[in-house]
Chains A and B, each alone.
Chain A
Amino acid sequence: MATYQLTVNGERKEVTVDPSTPLLWVLREDLKMTGTKYGCGVSVCGACTVHVNGVATRSCMLPISLLGERAIVTIEAMNDDAVGRVVQDAWVEKDVVQCGYCQSGQIMSAVALLKATPKPTDTNIEESMGGNICRCATYVRIREAIKTAAARLK
């Protein structure tokens, strides 16, 4: 076991966990932040996506020991994020969500895309969102929502 100082959504947190514990489980079980989801545990589905120093990251495969001083941002912070709020509003407007399980990861990836590429093409969207899987197949509405959000972002 080891103690780690984390910055999560701008707040300092301290956890004592096994160094090999993936960030996902530190968030969900130690910090009780359950917005980030477990979908596969092997980085295939994207449900666990968070931002680490601004980079979309698969938290299920990131051992806490490799995090260092990098800042973590989760889905819980998206309403207070300028781009995150626009994306979430677009998600609601386009009625994207069905079961909702993948959508935290979808939104985190969409926000990362729009912060890097404010006016994404269909190819940009397909390539960047292609690693986030939706069993309910809301892909068409995800694409529409991203385009709607992009149109509203300056």
Chain B
Amino acid sequence: MPRYRAAGLLISIIILAFGAWTIIASALGQAREQGRSDVSRAQGLVAWEQVYSVLTHPRCINCHTATNYPQQGDDRHRHFANVVRGPEGKGVPALNCVTCHQEVNADSTGVPGGHDWHLAPLSMKWQDANDNPLPSAAICRSVTDRSKNGNLDAQALLKHHEEAVLVLWAWQPGRRPDGTMRTLPPLSHKEFVAATRRWVEAGTPCPPAR
């Protein structure tokens, strides 16, 4: 083969290889961005609605208020004793959250407890000022907004759902003062984490705002 033909062939191969590499790298990048490529956006949105069903359960949303106070009970009434949020979500002097809430549930008296009991910050409010749960799209956008969620990326959100003490409390909420058990979220913790993982792997899609 004449040299110029060999050189041309070599150059063509290089160009084709570069092109193929570019295409593959782009696809891999998209797959990384989306997470595992077998979880579609549609599946991710379904998973998000499962997550949303937990976030808006009283065991979670009672401390994700938009107001100056927490809520309590399955009817989500205003917390008794005039307790208020305070500057750090931990109450105020003489009426801190830990004035009553200990490190663990006190089943003999009906006071729920967990380490560092406190309100979620106002940036993580999941209700409006009238105590109505926000729509799914609004909470999704809030939860994925790193300027609001404590700078948590998708993996950190998953870890939060898996391990955070006060998140785990929702599935071991203890007894009410009347001795009955507090109701649990609609999914088990294992199911909640699995749904969160699918949502994360789909790229944390959010439903469209209505």
Contacts and interface: CB of A to CB of B under 8 A. Distances in A.
B109 A128 contact: no
Interface string A99-116: 000000000111011011
4 interchain residue pairs of minimum CB distance: A20-B108, A116-B93, A130-B82, A109-B94
A137 to B, nearest CB: 15
A56 B93 contact: yes
A58 B100 contact: yes
B111 A130 contact: no
B92 A63 contact: no
Contacts of A113: 92-94
A60 B104 CA distance: 16
B96 interface: yes
* Size bin of chain B's contact surface: 20 to 34
Interface in B85-125: 86, 92-96, 98-100, 102-104, 106, 108-111, 113
B81 interface: yes
* Size bin of chain A's contact surface: 20 to 34
Contacts of B96: 55-56
Interface of B: 80-84, 86, 92-96, 98-100, 102-104, 106, 108-111, 113, 177
Given A127-B84, A130-B84, A55 B92 contact: no
B94 A112 contact: yes
B83 A131 contact: yes
Chain B, interface SS category: loop
B111 A61 contact: yes
Interface string A31-48: 000000000001110100
Contacts of B103: 66
Contacts of A130: 81-82, 84, 95
B117 to A, nearest CB: 12
Given A112-B93, A113-B93, A127-B95, A22 B109 contact: yes
A145 interface: no
Given A22-B109, A61-B111, A62-B102, 9 more contacts: A20-B108, A43-B81, A56-B95, A58-B99, A58-B100, A63-B108, A66-B106, A109-B95, A124-B93
B67 to A, nearest CB: 14
Contact of A128 (B94, B111, B177): B94
16 contacts: A20-B108, A22-B109, A42-B177, A43-B111, A44-B80, A55-B98, A56-B94, A57-B100, A60-B109, A124-B92, A127-B82, A127-B84, A128-B93, A129-B94, A130-B82, A131-B95
A149 B100 CA distance: 26
Contact of B99 (A42, A56, A116): A56
Contacts of B104: 66
A16 interface: no
Given A20-B108, A43-B111, A131-B82, A66 B102 contact: yes
